[in-house]
Structures are given as C-alpha cells and as structure tokens.
Structure 1
C-alpha cells in the first residue's frame, strides 16, 4: 500500500491570543472542531463543587443570537453531526463533527456560546435539575464507587478526594455569592489566553484559518490564567472506602515529579503491557486462566503528577490469585525496563500510530492533534519512560499488596513481535473470480485506502450461544492485531445469524480474513478447554442495557440458557457444514479484490446470495421487560417503518431528523425527566425504525411512557407547523448527507449492508436520495400519522413490567440473559 502523504498542518496565534491548530486532511468527508479550555473541576472555589461542570451545561442553553432550534446542539443534530463536551479535572473540552457544508455555521455557534452565554437564573435552575439527575445516576454507578475506592488512599487534601459532580445542594443558584463566583470563574478562564482551538477537515489550510479568524472575535480576549498546583498525592489519607468489586484488581501508582513527555511514554508502555502476543504479560496471565484483560491508563495527570492505573479484569480463579498476578506484573516491568532503548518497539509504535491516524475520523483527529502528540516516541519521552518505570514499583502503590510466596518467574518473557498485518501481504499472481455469495459495491472514492467487508452465516445462532462465545475467544488475539493494523474486526450474533465485519485500511483485510476464517473453522485446543465458561458481563446503565438488547428483541429473538449445548469441535464442524452465507464488500480496489476472493476459498458453509428475507409484519404493542441492576427507570420505544419500501424509509428518515431536537427539548429541558433523553433512526438487519429513549432517576415508567406517547401524538401537528422553506432545507440536507461522494466509507458501508439485508440492490443509495428529494409535506404527514397510530407496530423495552393493559408481553428472556 502506498504511504499516504502527510496532511498539511499549521499552528497560529490569532491577534486576540487564541491558539489555533489547523490540519488539512484530504481524505475526510466531514470536518471537526475541538476547543480546549484550560480550566476544570479542580479550579473552582471549594465552596461550590460542580461549578465547572454546571457552567459547561449552561453554555448549551444558547445565546441571544442562537438558541432553541438555532442553537449549536440543534444545528449539529439537524445536519447529521455529533456533538459533546467533557469537564475534566483541569480542562474542559467542547467538540463537534459535521458535514463540510455546515462547518462554518457550527463553528460560529460554538464561539458565540462560549463568548456570550445567557445564564439567566430561570435557565440555571432548570439545568441544575438535569445535573442533579446525572449526579443521582453517577452516585449509583458501580464505576463511580470503584473510582472512590481507587482514590481513597490519596492525601485527604488532594482535590481528587473531593466531590465534583455537582447537584442541587452544591449549586445554590439563587445565592448572590454563588452567582458572583460563577461569573468570576467564567471571566477568569473563558478567555482566549486559556483556549486552544483545533480544526480538522478536507478544506485547505487557508480556508480553515479564515474561518477561525472570522469567528474568534466572539471570544473574550485575555491572557493565560494561573492554575494552582495541587498538593502531593500521598500524605494523610482520609476516610477509608471499602473495595466493592472483587472481579477487578488494580495496581495504582502515585507518581510525582514526572518530566515532560510522560504522557506519550505512558501510551507507549500501555501499548506493550497490554499486548496479547505470546511471551507477554497478558498472554501469560490468560494461559494461567487468571485474567480476561488488562489495561494501563492514566487515571489523573496534571503538572508533574500522575495516577497510573494497571487494571486486571479477573476470572474466578484470578480473584484468589492477586498476589501472583502482582508478582508477574512487576517481573514483566523489570524485564521491559532492562531493554532501556526499545528501538524495535519504537519503530513499531510509530507504524501503529500512523496506521491509526489513517482511519481516524475528523473528530478523532481533532482530539489527537489538540494534544500535539507525535507518532514517533520522542527522545524526551524515552527519558520520561525511564523515570516512569523507576516509579512503577511496589513501594509506590497506593493500595499495597500483601507479599505472596516467592516464585521463580525469570526467563518467560519476550518482547512483542512485529505486527505482520502492518506490512504488505502477497497478492495472487492471477485474478481470482468473485465468489457467488459476495457482492462488491463501490465506495465513496475510487482511490480510497479504506474498505469494509460484511459477512453473514445463517446457522440458527440463537441456539448456539456457547459456540459463539468460543469463536469470539478464538478471534480475540487476532482482533487486537487487526486493531493495531487499522482494521476493526467484529464478530457478532444477531437472530439466527453470525456476522463478521472487517473495516478500515483495506490492504491487510484479505490476510486478516484468511486468518480469521481459519480460527473460526478450527479453534485452537486451548480455546476449547475454556468452552462453556460464560464471562461476567459488564454492568451497563439501564438505557445502555436496553439498547444492547434491542436488535435481538426487535427480530423476535430472546436468548435463553442452553446448558445442554454440545460444545465440541465436531458440533462446530456440523454447524459450519449446514451453514449458508452471503456478504458485501465496499471500496475494494481490483488488487485487493482478488486477494479477498482468494481468502474466501476458506469460507465455511455454502454461498447463498439470497439470504435476505422480508420481516414479518408487526402490529399492536409489545412490551419486553428487561430487569436491570439499578433503581432508575429506563424505557426504549422502537417503532418500525410499516414497509420496506425506499419511499417509506425516506419519509421516516426525514421525520426522525425533524423530531430529534423537539423531543430532547421537551422531555429533557422542559419536563426534566433526566439526562439520558434521545431519539433517532435505527436499522436492524435491514429493518428501519424510529427509537425513543429515556432514563430517569425519579419518574416512574408510566409517566415516561405517557410523555413519549404524548410527544408522538403531537408529531402530525409539528409537521403541519413546519414552514415550507424550512422543510425544503431539511429535505435537501438529508439528501446531500446520503450523497455517496460525501460519505465516509465506514458509515457508507454500514448503510449499504443494511440495504443489502433488506433486499435492495446496488442502486439503493441513488434511489434513497431521489425518494428524499421527491418527498411532499403530505408524505411526511402520512409518516407522522403512521407513527402515531402504530401502523408498523410498537416494541417497548423497559426496566419494569407493562404499565398498561394495551401492551402485550413479548416473549420473556430468562434472568441473567
């Protein structure tokens, strides 16, 4: 694969003091902005915990120029973009990604909201309740309790020990002293001396610079404000906190006096500590069946301080062997430190980072470049790594380990080998014919280095969950190698199908597929030794658990335990022998196409290009009770389109776009139901529908459902009230968003795969665009009425039983599934 040219970049300081980093990346179809403000939760007056987070929320309430439907959030959502913000200990980030045509408008709104927030008391009081709902959810979250335990050994005066989330009690909005400090914090930190703006997109640097110069005038000019240094990490600990989660084992190091370059040094160390290749720490711990995974992360970093966390997700056997895990970890760290220069790994690290950036989205690139981290490990970072390793010793642990029996651990370690998928693979000498079951569709550009492959096997998957988990384990190491090579590899189960998806840099995809098919057909003996062991699933928030269950439930599949499943190699061989498969490749050039076809010769099962089947018609209202380990209530309503016609899909896509902002404003802003409120379009196995989701810490399910239903019933009126000009704009925006040449390849491939599963042909995208542009107000009105009347049926997933007799119970899944 030819080495892509490096994108043009520029770092300028504007006349008002704003630092701007510009990156021109021609392959992108969208543009992104990332604004970092050097002020966070540890910079607020101690009297008002949560003030920085509260201010972040207030900005999104709009300005005199841009509010409501014209504010930043509504603008980005209406253009099919994504937007968010994050308040951390010492900085606050605001970021979005939109189509290029909407970038200037979104950037103008971002700077306007940071430079001219309204912050009326009435709005503050409403938004404080949203923040309180977040706090309630956070306080009940097992992850929050685990973090409290992690930091419990820190010095009692360190701000990491304090409460910073904010709630209705820590944010006394009516008090004059609070209002004075809120505005004082804003004036001190929200000015150009504290801000860095990073812009990334396909636009030329001159155009990006001109946009930054045009909008930066909305920001308050100012100089850099000093952020106070924190006290030492270790000192007099506060009140002890009991460790709550025995399935997680943490080695947490309090590091002081770290040199510049430590951030990149820790990224380098984490890459090799978590490597799954033979001879590494993770491979050895898995061989002993002690851990499922391990990860090194920087829990906190500011000035010369850092909390470095090595976390192990334990197996049941590992929960009683933490002393041995600790010894093995420290032994590996000593082995790694002894290599000192790490020259070979430094070259590999550069290749990994370059490959990662080749497939990064505009927003991922903006986040990366905002830190100005080079791909190659700098000399400064090498020296920092040496000093970091000196501090990663047992005496620096915040939670000391009891000494276990001494073991002879020497001689088992090896440095990770080179990733074979980062280098060119051999291609077939002659063209290889396309297999019967695979369709090839064009990507967004004939010269893109990205591609995607979707494969599907029909295997009665719902009856073979144990074999599915076995195959997931078989692919685990290869999945990590693929990720490092710039390819996302996902093996999933949906309804009666197993699916394999590979997407990213196209050059390694054929070789990865060939290896994956071998591992799927004949898993290694050690994989079979662990067959039948069901790993503990991560605890999700209620609304995320409902979203996870939605695909299977919407197709009528409800997992149940299959303890008598045959989990032997012969059973897998029989299953593959009876399997039928099809697939779709998007964006493959001719050379990789032959290599892919050659790899598909190892495909298990029989090619069957006609696996797409119509979904059964739905009517009425079905309720699926999904128990969750939370006191909060959550509800997810899925409303399928009444038919699979492209005309109906077009109307419902536009309807989803129109109702997204009003739904959010009504249920989150006005009714204050909670912080997790959203709506949008979803596709599952080719079936399209609208989804409405709410999680609330206080509202019962009956109230949540009532508010959602009331909103849906008002949609015909909402559509009728749309001005023709506004509707024309929304329609054209939606059509343009589905222009092939304007779509990033990976979302394009996902969309085309959904079309393939629905039985549509290669002209689907053009037909969808035509259908959108031909939509009349009466078509949209009909779609709104169909949605309100439940013509396509309604499926409700909720954390409790049905609240009305009109809802019929769906097939019930067994507990724990």
Structure 2
C-alpha cells in the first residue's frame, strides 16, 4: 500500500499553455492519466447537437500513425489496463491506467489521437450508426428519460433542456457545413490552452513532468478560449416527480466543494438526520442528493427521494427544516471528519481514481471559502432561524477512529455455545483441536503494507429468497458506508447456496468493520427493513449481474435467516494482514455463525451442456451473454484461456460493433466465477435478436483458429509477454492479487498459484493456443447463454 501522499498534487502551466497536475505516489503498481478538455456538449453550434459526443467517439478510431488495432484502446486492453472517455455539458474527459513500464507509450497514443485524428467519412458513417443505436436505447429507457425530464422546470432556452447525445438526424456527416463545424470545434478546443493533464504514478515529479512535456509537444498550441455564454436559470426550485431541484445562478468559485459537502451529510442515513426521520415517518425510504450540473457560477442540486409523489410536499417541509437546523450548526467537527474520510479515500485509491480526482481540482475537505459558499447556498435555498428540536448531527464514523470493542460482544441471538462457529481460535486450541483453522491467514501476499483482504464464505442449505436477500443487503448499508469512508470496501453476496462477505482496503479498521458487519447480518429477521427498489438496469447489465447465480446448480430458496445461518458451514481466507490485525480479529472470528469447516468443497463446476437462461427485461432491446468456461480447472487451461481472451478482445469488438453494427454495448472479457475461469462475450442490440447475436458470437468463435494463425510469432510472443506482465508483482495490485488468490482457493489450487500461473503462461505456444481454441469451439467446458429471449432449441437446453 502506498504511503499517504500530500493532499495536493504539484500543479503548473507548461510553456506551451498546457496545465498539468502531477502526483508522485511511491509504491503504486500502475500509472494513470486523465486529460480534461474544457469543452462539452453545450459548446457546439446549435444546429449540430451531439457534435462533441461524436468527436469523442471519432478520436478512438485510429490515426495514420496508430491505426485502430494499435491505437490507445487496443494498446491499453492488450496490457490489461483501463481506458474510457466521457462527454459532459462543459468538459470532455479521456483517461487510462497502465502498468508503469507501458505508460509512456499510452500517453504517446493519447496525444496522437487528440492531435491528428483521421476522421475519414467511412469511419464517421459507421460511428454515427453506433450513436444512433445509443440514441434508440436512450429514447426507450425509462430511467434515461426520467433523468432527461429532470430539467423540464428550467427555461426552455437553457441548454440543459436540449438534446446533446447525437443521432442519425442531427449528425449530418455528408454535409460540408457539418464537416467544417467538426473541424472548427476540434481546432478551437483541442489545443493546449483548453486542456488539463493529470498524471499519477510511482515516477518522480521530474519524470512525470518530462512525460507531460512529451505529451504537450504533440498537441497544437493555443490560448484558453471562452466557452459558450451561460443562459440564466432564473428559477430557484421546482418539483419533478419524486425529485426536488434547486437552481443557483451566481455562486462563488468554491461552490462545487460546498455542494459536495452538503450532499454528503444529506445522504447520511444515521439517526437524527433527514433520511432517518423520513423513514421513521414513513414518508420516504431512500434519499440521494447530487449536484447534477455546475458551470461558471451556475449549479443544479438534485434531491431524489424513494417515495410516493403525494408525499413530496411533506418531504420538502421536513427537508427545509433539517437544512435550517444544519445551517445553524458548528460545522467544525463535520469538516474534520469529512477531510479525514477524503484522505482515507485518496489513500486507498488507485492511480486512475487519483488522476480523475486531480482533474476535478477540488479541495480535500471544505475550505474556508467553501464555508462561505455553503452559507450562501443554504441562504438561497431559504433556510430560517427556527427549526424542530429532534434533529442532531450524525454520530462520528466508528472506523475513522482507533479500534474500539463492539458493544454486546456476546453470542449471536438465538445461538448457544454448542455452535462451534462461536468459538475463538484460543478456545478451539484449549480443547486440543489439531485441525487447521477454516480461516486461513495466507502468507501469499506480504504483510508489510497498509492494505489487506478478508474473504468469508458460507455454504448454506438453501438460497436466500428475494425478500431475505433484500433484508440482508439493507442490514449492511450503514456499515458499508462507514467502512467505505474509512478505506474499506465491504460487499456481501448471496448467490445460490454460496454466501460471501468480502473486505478489501486498509487493514487497520478491518477487524472492527467485520464485527459490525457480522452483527448486522446475523440480526436480520422477518421484521427487518428491505432495501429500496433498485433502478432498472439496461439488459446487458442485467445479464452480467445474473451470471454468477446461473453458474451454480439451482437450489431451493428459503426465507428464515436464523436457520440458514445456524446450519451453514464456513471457511475463509485473509491476505496481507499483519500480526496486529490478525490478533485484533479474535472477537470478530468468535461472531461467525455456522460451523467452521476447513474442507468445504469448491462450488459445483459447470457441466458440458449448453444451457440457456432467459432473463426478462423491460427494455425493447435484445441482449445475449455467452459464457464459455474452461474444460477443466487446471492452471494450464486457465493460462490458455487468458491468452485467448486477450487476443480476441479487440477483434470481437471490431467485428460485432464496428463492422456488423450490432450495437454500442459489445465486449468480451475473461471472468472468474466461483473459481471457474471463462471467457464471456456480451452484446446488447436495438435491432438483432438474442439468437442472431448468439449466431454472430459463435461464428466469431468458429474463426478463432484463423485469427490465431493471422498473428505471426512475434505478435503472439508480444501478447504472451503482455499477459505475463499483468501477473508480475511489479504490476499487480494487492486487491487484484487477493481476488486471484481467492478464486484460486475456490478452484482448489495451492497458495503458490500466482507463480504457477506465470509459469504456465510463459510455456504457451501456438499449438497450445490452437488446441484451447478448439476446446472452446467444441464447448468442452459447456456453454451458458443468458439472454432476453427464449431458448432456440437443440443443442441448447432451457435451464430450470
């Protein structure tokens, strides 16, 4: 874990006008860049809506120097990195993360694609169809339409009321006037004076500056230009369905940090706060406050309530009462805790997260100027001096302080000392037990840094019903929020008969977080509150979320949490924990329900059948997810599958998205699910049926031998080296290594799995890869297809 760094990055403006922020973080395994262009969808000519978004897409389509297969996206994917871009109202962001030794070449590709895009007409026509598919999906997505309707209370002439995504009608690429507008927009804004480059990595500041200067040398030089003038919002507040919105026209410079600070405390569910009171009064079940827009003193604050529309007037009254209370408080303790949690977040963030945060140029905490801005914001909302007496500030986050014992650390309700899951290791040893503990403290990762990971698994008699699953998830919400603020990511999944509690991040708070989480989970009963209904997901996301469930054999469901806990069997894996943290876990381990079992079997492996699972979706679009597992759990098969996945990633995207124009959501990736390694192919399409999508995916798979043969020995060797580098200790983060080791445990591998995997990758050759491709074509590990349509018939079997 990198040591805490200075909260502010080094900032300067280079001689050619490029503004840079540089952050040296010793110990990071990767480097990242975030490039912000001060131009967005509200800055394009009115006659060409969507032009900014369209240009962002075009920039990824290759240059003369780096064609599509060698451009930034393919390069980053080939090195196991992350890359993306985003067009907002007044900014366009490009960002990527790579292993440090590959970072310079990534920056070179980013600068080249920004400075010298190819933008030929054929590329534009193809990419316009991609945006058309996005537009069709957007226009049919109720959630997207509700988000768009948020702005209906604003003046009609404000650009927030307009359409900016782009489609076949608005992107008239055949017209000379459009081409001139596209060229002019690129020349006006894609130059040094309009850009901020944020670099983060283990390199020294001098090295980072040299990289920034190399990047800047390729970018056209220009002065900062004025963006399109703002249109007054004029309104102060309005109601839109279950949302309350507050508009501001002339806020000071520090208003963004003030709004983010205010939203943090509005969103708190702790007793004494707004959400807790609304839940007690049964006015609302959920609240999400977000600053949805800000530019040049303008801002729009959204408060979204999970509530009936008829309750909104009462909610508004309570909200204004709480804001009036909040405005009169001494914010000093809240500012101190807020700064502490932001520093914790920064401490556990990877290079990409830090680079993106640096590009926002926000303070760490609420500055004195932010206090002045917040005072003005609350005044404009309409707070008053008198308010109800039942409000109080939220309790301090228990995980930001030194570990304290959890109150009432006795037995789990409804259990007795006869349950072995309640014994501590010391008690087990005192009884002369010789078997190895089911909680394995692994030495596979070093314990001399600040990070660690804990995996705790239960095998239960039945799957949790939807109602029980909702209650279990709701029970953890406050602990999850506090843990995240303290640098620990806490997740719980109940998938079939496999339940998993996972903690990753800073190890110092982990014992305390684990105690609270176990206490919350084991106190769930029939009267426990349920989670608020989730926002409907796009079809492909539904399929991805459902995949782990359908990679297990079906089991009956049950609703009795107490029975499932007490009859469960559990084991676990702790990684990277030092002796102090291990010792502090004693109380938490004594709280684990169920029977410890150090010989829990791996989750049942997929069979060789071709099973089809239909997932109902409210969308009119079709989606299919094809999961192709290895034929065995051997490390040799896994290594071959990983290299196959790396080779096909760009080609699959190119074939189905660019050439066949099936849709905008097209991907292939390697996944490990319950210890099983698989390549997953996914597509969502507004035109092709799930069966047609599957046909295209299978045709692509049939062509794998030819794709492999199209790579010469040098190319295959480079792919193998890129894959091997991903598992090099110098590049692999502790969090990623922990997840790999957990999956290895589920697959029955030994603790030297990472070394074995690296060795297996180094031994891969063309013939081994061709053999693996044939195993994939023959479905020797079986296929799982999740789709929005019904099963087509043989060889597919409709799953139970």
> Fold conserved (TM > 0.5)?
yes
Alignment correspondent of 1:815: none
Alignment correspondent of 1:768: 757
Alignment correspondent of 2:619: 630
Contact 1:7 1:26 in 2 (8 A): no
Alignment correspondent of 1:799: 788
- For the pair 1:269 / 2:258, whether they are aligned, the reply is no
Residue among 274, 281, 305 paired with 1:281: 274
* Secondary structure at the counterpart of residue 289 of structure 1: coil
* Secondary structure at the counterpart of residue 32 of structure 1: strand
- For the pair 1:324 / 2:314, whether they are aligned, the reply is yes
Contact 2:234 2:249 in 1 (8 A): no
Superposition pairs of residues 296-375 of structure 1, within 5 angstroms: 296-314=289-307, 318-339=308-329, 341-375=330-364
Residue among 383, 396, 420 paired with 1:418: 396
Contact 1:612 1:756 in 2 (8 A): no
Q: 1:758 to 1:131 in 2, by over 3 A?
A: same
* Cα distance, 1:475 vs structure 2: 1.8
Residue among 650, 662, 669 paired with 2:639: 650
Contact 1:111 1:218 in 2 (8 A): yes
Superposition pairs of residues 364-513 of structure 1, within 5 angstroms: 364-393=353-382, 410-425=388-403, 436-442=437-443, 445-513=446-514
The separation in 1 between residues aligned to 2:484 and 2:154, in whole angstroms, is 35
* Cα distance, 1:320 vs structure 2: 4.0
1:84-133 per-residue CA deviation (whole Å, 9 max, x = no partner) reads 10000011000011111211111100000000000111111111101111
Contact 1:49 1:171 in 2 (8 A): yes
* Cα distance, 1:10 vs structure 2: 1.8
Contact 1:458 1:496 in 2 (8 A): yes
- Per the normalisation by structure 2, the TM-score is 0.93
Superposition pairs of residues 83-232 of structure 1, within 5 angstroms: 83-232=83-232
Contact 2:438 2:571 in 1 (8 A): yes
Contact 2:31 2:352 in 1 (8 A): yes
* Cα distance, 1:287 vs structure 2: 2.3
The separation in 2 between residues aligned to 1:667 and 1:806, in whole angstroms, is 23
Contact 2:20 2:196 in 1 (8 A): yes
Q: 1:383 to 1:587 in 2, by over 3 A?
A: same
Alignment correspondent of 1:540: 537
Contact 1:350 1:375 in 2 (8 A): yes
- Per the normalisation by structure 1, the TM-score is 0.91
* Cα distance, 1:530 vs structure 2: 4.1
- For the pair 1:670 / 2:663, whether they are aligned, the reply is no
Alignment correspondent of 1:250: 243
* Cα distance, 1:410 vs structure 2: 1.3
Alignment correspondent of 2:410: none
* Cα distance, 1:61 vs structure 2: 0.4
Structure 2 gaps of 5+ residues are 407-423, 430-435
The separation in 2 between residues aligned to 1:766 and 1:514, in whole angstroms, is 34
Q: 1:348 to 1:616 in 2, by over 3 A?
A: closer
Q: 1:753 to 1:585 in 2, by over 3 A?
A: same
Q: Figure out how many residues of one structure are paired with residues of the other and give that number.
A: 775
* Secondary structure at the counterpart of residue 321 of structure 1: helix
* Cα distance, 1:3 vs structure 2: 8.0
Alignment correspondent of 1:55: 55
* Secondary structure at the counterpart of residue 422 of structure 1: coil
* Cα distance, 1:612 vs structure 2: 3.1
1:305-347 per-residue CA deviation (whole Å, 9 max, x = no partner) reads 1111111123xxx5542222221111100000012x4111111
Q: 1:475 to 1:8 in 2, by over 3 A?
A: closer
1:720-740 per-residue CA deviation (whole Å, 9 max, x = no partner) reads 222111111211221121123
The separation in 2 between residues aligned to 1:699 and 1:759, in whole angstroms, is 40
Alignment correspondent of 2:421: none
Alignment correspondent of 1:405: none
Residue among 590, 605, 615 paired with 2:604: 615
Alignment correspondent of 1:690: 679
* Cα distance, 1:148 vs structure 2: 2.6
The separation in 1 between residues aligned to 2:724 and 2:441, in whole angstroms, is 24
1:142-196 per-residue CA deviation (whole Å, 9 max, x = no partner) reads 2221123210111111111111110011011111111111101111111100000
* Cα distance, 1:286 vs structure 2: 2.1
Residue among 625, 629, 632 paired with 1:640: 629
Alignment correspondent of 1:814: none
The separation in 2 between residues aligned to 1:639 and 1:795, in whole angstroms, is 7
Contact 1:115 1:219 in 2 (8 A): yes
Structure 1 gaps of 5+ residues are 396-407, 812-817
- For the pair 1:586 / 2:586, whether they are aligned, the reply is no
Contact 1:29 1:202 in 2 (8 A): yes
Contact 1:679 1:690 in 2 (8 A): yes
Contact 1:32 1:363 in 2 (8 A): yes
Contact 1:638 1:692 in 2 (8 A): yes
1:583-641 per-residue CA deviation (whole Å, 9 max, x = no partner) reads 11111111101112342011111111121326345223211111100111101000110
**Of 572-581 and 255-264, the range deviating more from structure 2:** 572-581
Q: 1:464 to 1:540 in 2, by over 3 A?
A: closer
Contact 1:191 1:220 in 2 (8 A): yes
Residue among 705, 719, 722 paired with 1:733: 722
Q: 1:431 to 1:104 in 2, by over 3 A?
A: farther
The separation in 1 between residues aligned to 2:145 and 2:468, in whole angstroms, is 35
The separation in 1 between residues aligned to 2:425 and 2:792, in whole angstroms, is 61
Contact 2:675 2:745 in 1 (8 A): yes
Alignment correspondent of 2:418: none
Q: 1:665 to 1:324 in 2, by over 3 A?
A: same
Residue among 701, 706, 710 paired with 2:699: 710
* Cα distance, 1:394 vs structure 2: 9.0
* Secondary structure at the counterpart of residue 226 of structure 1: coil
The separation in 1 between residues aligned to 2:24 and 2:3, in whole angstroms, is 17
* Cα distance, 1:700 vs structure 2: 2.2
- For the pair 1:744 / 2:730, whether they are aligned, the reply is no
Contact 2:343 2:364 in 1 (8 A): yes
The separation in 2 between residues aligned to 1:793 and 1:2, in whole angstroms, is 42
Q: Which runs of 4+ in 1 moved over 4 A?
A: 430-435
**Of 448-457 and 386-395, the range deviating more from structure 2:** 386-395
* Cα distance, 1:529 vs structure 2: 2.7
* Secondary structure at the counterpart of residue 775 of structure 1: coil
